[in-house]
Structure formats: C-alpha cells, structure tokens
Amino acid sequence: AQMQDLSSETVKKAKDMAFVFDIDGVLVHGDRLIPEGQRVLEILNGDNELGIKIPHIFLTNGSGKPEKPRCEQLSKILSNPISTDQFIQSHTPMRALAEYYKTVLVVGGEGYKCREVAEQYGFEDIVVPNDIVAWDPTIAPYRVFTEEERATSRPRDFSQTNINAIMVFSDSRDYATDMQIIMDLLRSENGRIGTLAKDPVATRIPIYFSQGDMLCPTEHPIPRMSQGTFRIGLEAMYKALSGVDLERVVYGKPELATYKYADEVISSWMEQIHDDERLPSNVYMIGDNPASDIIGGNMYGWNTCLVRTGVYQGEGNDKENPASFGVFKNVYEAVTTAMKKQL
C-alpha cells in the first residue's frame, strides 16, 4: 500500500510540471538534430519510469513558414510527433492582429512563404514588398527584379490603397528594398504609397516586429544579423529623416506578450495531456540564449536552464542573465536533472 501511495504521489508531482523548449541551439541546429533532443522528447512522451507523458511546448523565435509544415519538418528531424497545438514561433501570437488591420505589408522570409503565413492567420489583404516593386520598379532603384519574382508578385495600383500596418514577420532578404518601402510607408499619410505626411506622427501607421534577436547562429562561424539589428537600422534612419522616434511593437522572446501567450498554450496542452487545464507549479524553460530565453523565463518566474549547445559558450553561468536552475552541457542533462528534482 505504501508503494502505491508513493507512486501516486510521484504521479501527482509529475502532473504538476511542464517543459518549454527553445528549438535552435537546444534541440536542433537548423536542420541538423542534436541527438539529446530526440532522447528527451522520447522520455517526455512516455518512455520514463512512470510511463506517463510530461507536457512540453516549443517556444522559438524562429519564423518564416506556417506552423504546420514547420512542425512536420521538426517531427521528422526529432523523430517525435510535434503538434501545432504545442508550438509557438515568433509570429504565432501576431495572428491576433488580423482583426485590427485590413491591409498589411508583410516583410521578410523566403519567397512568398510569409504571405502564406499571414493568410493562415486570417489577414484579409496582404501586400509583400515585391507587389509594390512589380507595380513601380523605381521605388527600389538598385533592385534587380527577376522574371520569377515578377511572375509571383501581385501588383496593383498602390496609389489607390492605404496600407494599415507593417508586419515584419521574418528576416529581410533584401534590406535595401525592404527598408526603403517600410520608410516610405512610415513617412506617408495613412500608409498611402507616394505621399509624404506633413506631420510625421499624426497619420503614421504602426509597425510590428515578430522578434528582436540581434544575432542568429547559422552555418557561418560568426553569428549573422537578425531582426533586432534590422529594426535598429530602421529606427536610426527614421529618426534621421523625420526627426522623431519610431514607436514600434516587438513580439517573440523575451517580450512579455509572448510568455503570456505561452501560458495559454501550456494550459490547453495540459488539458490535452492530463485533462486538467491548470497551469503547473513548475515550468522549466530550456534555452541556449541568455538574452532571450533566459532573461524572459526569469522575468516570468519559470525555472530556467541554460545549455551549452547553442549561442552560449561561456564558463559557469551567464553573468548578466544567470539561469535560475543552472547551466547544463545539453538538453538531456537539463531535463533529467529537473525530473530528478521534481519527482
């Protein structure tokens, strides 16, 4: 009977915890598996002493394609099923903006994938920079526009359209063109291309960024610039041209809105796994970037675990944003230590 009590007590504890995983630098490097990532997902999906599932969600600043194909791709790499119901990428919470703006400029990403993302979020009228270039190539004087790009763009008479907001969803593939068009819109009257507002602020349309990372680790030995640096460039140019500061909204880790959204996803995933939507008392976030994963998790009261398989390579804990639960060699060490402590 005592054994029974003990194990039911352990099950109760196991049901009061959840994991939040960063993706890049924790579970994978681009398309390359970090083997410990596959193992921890097997453990959390039931291959553990208790034989129960431990809820876990994925919270990435990644972007650029719809949730469904991204989850399919990750399921394949990690050999474990990943549902869109347990998955948040940088622009996922921006779906809530679809009801506020009719016509939006969507910037960034490969080809037309971000147009597709915006369509799936329910945005009604989506414009991408190439649509504007196809209508008037002089808007981007140094741009070489290929036939293929022309064929996939949707030009219209933009002198007749007000764009209601700018959504930077993913990294710009052409800073010169994207910055020029964004600047034209920010300085226009109510988002009408070809106009220049007299008052820089009164009729300015809002701009949103899906995340604020300065750098992104890639195949290149030194990390490459990401949306954060793109935004800072824009802010400086805007200030120089208009004389006023640019107001903007940033999503993604470590912004509060993203963690609040994560709580909603944890709660509905708890419901799916344990039939109980209450948030667990113990949430463990595992990340590789002190400046986004760890600082945000610490502010939000999660137990944070910093791993050494990605951005962070320092000795000991990070000085500025130390992980509250500790630093680990890899995600396997972090998850098994957390489970030992908890159960």
Residues found near ligand G3P in the complex (CB under 6 A): 22-25, 60-62, 213, 216, 226
**Shortest approach of ligand G3P to residue 21 CB, angstroms?**
8
Q: Does 67 bind Mg ion (CB under 5 A)?
A: no
| Contact of residue 213 among Mg ion, ligand G3P, none (CB under 5-8 Å per partner type) | ligand G3P
89/180 with CB nearer ligand G3P: 89
Contacts 24+ apart (CB under 8 A), 31-36: 31/73, 31/77, 32/77, 33/77, 33/78, 34/309, 34/330, 34/331, 36/309, 36/330, 36/331, 36/332, 36/333
Instruction: Name the residue nearer to ligand G3P (CB basis): 61 or 303.
Output: 61
Q: How far is the CB of 303 from ligand G3P (least distance, A)?
A: 18
- Tell me, what amino acid is at 164? N
Q: How far is the CB of 25 from Mg ion (least distance, A)?
A: 4
Region binding Mg ion by CB under 5 A among candidate stretches 21-29, 66-74, 112-120, 295-303: 21-29
Nearer to ligand G3P (CB atom), residue 205 or residue 216: 216
317: tokens are 């804990």
> Residue 216: which of Mg ion, ligand G3P, none does it interact with, CB under 5 to 8 A by kind?
ligand G3P
Tokens representing residue 183 in the block? 């600047």
Backbone angles phi, psi at 104, to 5 degrees: -130, 145
First-to-last CA distance in the chain? Answer: 19
By CB under 5 A, what part of segment 228-247 binds Mg ion?
none
122 C-beta neighbours (distance < 10 Å), count? 11
Q: How far is the CB of 33 from ligand G3P (least distance, A)?
A: 14
Find the shortest distance in angstroms from Cβ 252 to Mg ion.
11
**DSSP state string for 164-204:** -EEEE-S--S-HHHHHHHHHHHHTSSTTBTT---SSTTTTP
Here's the x/- map for Mg ion, 266-295, by CB under 5 A: it reads as ----------------------xx------
The site that binds Mg ion (CB under 5 A) totals a number of residues, namely 6
Tokens of 157: 């008479």
> Cα-flanking dihedrals φ and ψ of residue 58, to 5°?
-120, 130
Encoded one letter per residue, x for contact with Mg ion by CB under 5 A and - for no contact, window 295-324 reads ---------------x--------------
Q: Which is nearer to ligand G3P, 91 or 274 (CB)?
A: 91
- 22 interacts with Mg ion by CB under 5 A: yes
Residue 61 touches which of ligand G3P, Mg ion, none (Cβ within 5-8 Å per kind):
ligand G3P
- If you count them, how many residues does the chain have? 343
Kindly state the tokens that stand for 71: 């989850």
- Rounded distance, CA 322 to CA 305, Å? 9
Nearest to 171 by CA among 199, 202, 211: 211
Nearest partner of 197 among 208, 209, 207, 187, judged by Cα: 187
Cα–Cα distance between 18 and 264 in angstroms, integer? 13
Q: How far is the CB of 94 from ligand G3P (least distance, A)?
A: 15
213 is a contact residue toward Mg ion (CB under 5 A): no
**Contacting residue, 25, 62, 109, 290, with Mg ion by CB under 5 A:** 25
> 78 or 98: whose CB is closer to Mg ion?
78
Q: Where are the beta strands (DSSP E) in 256-309?
A: 282-287, 303-307
Contact of 283 with 35, CB cutoff 8 Å: no
Q: Which is nearer to ligand G3P, 25 or 290 (CB)?
A: 25
Contacts to Mg ion by CB under 5 A: 22, 24-25, 288-289, 310
